[in-house]
Structure formats: C-alpha cells, structure tokens
Amino acid sequence: ALPILHQGVDVCINNAGLARPEPLLSGKTEGWRTMLDVNVLAVSICTREAYQSMKERNIDDGQIININSLLGHIFQTPSRSHFYCATKHAVTALTEGVRQELR
C-alpha cells in the first residue's frame, strides 16, 4: 500500500516498544510472543521493507533509525522485566547487524 500512496520510504524511524510484566521463569508465552512481535519482529520487518524501498529507487542517503531502550544495553533490571530486556537487547543486535550488512 505504501508505494501506491507515496513514492517510497526515505526515512524509517523504528520506535516500537511494548513491555509486559512476564518474568522468564513464570511469564506467559502469549506475553512473550507479543513482546517479540512488537519489539523485534516489527522492527525487523519495517527495516527490511524500508531498505527494499530505498534500494528499488536507488536512494543512497536514506536513514533507518532504531530508537531503543536503555534496557537494551544493561542487565540490572527487576525480574519482571527480564524478557522485555532480552527483546531490547535483540534490537541492539539487529541494529549492529544492519549496520554491518550495509557496509
């Protein structure tokens, strides 16, 4: 739908974030899956689609910006946040992976 409404994506700002109080040892799978879908998968899909849009139109100065949480860089969190923290560490890893793939 995006190419029909607009020419494409030149700037993508990923700012997704969803936290559920679902500890690692007692959390519900549904809560974990929801956090993975929003915090990791959505960021990955939006990044891929934005990149493809830029590549198809030969945009070489486009931007993909991932706004992450401090919890994606530290480990000192309450137990109810450990899974959320893991999803935000995944965003940190994804950001570095994209940077390396774009070299």
Are 14 and 46 in contact by the 8 Å Cβ rule? The answer is: yes
* Per annotation, catalytic residue among 12, 14, 47, 84: 84
Q: Mark whether 51 is an active-site residue.
A: no
Catalytic center residues? 84
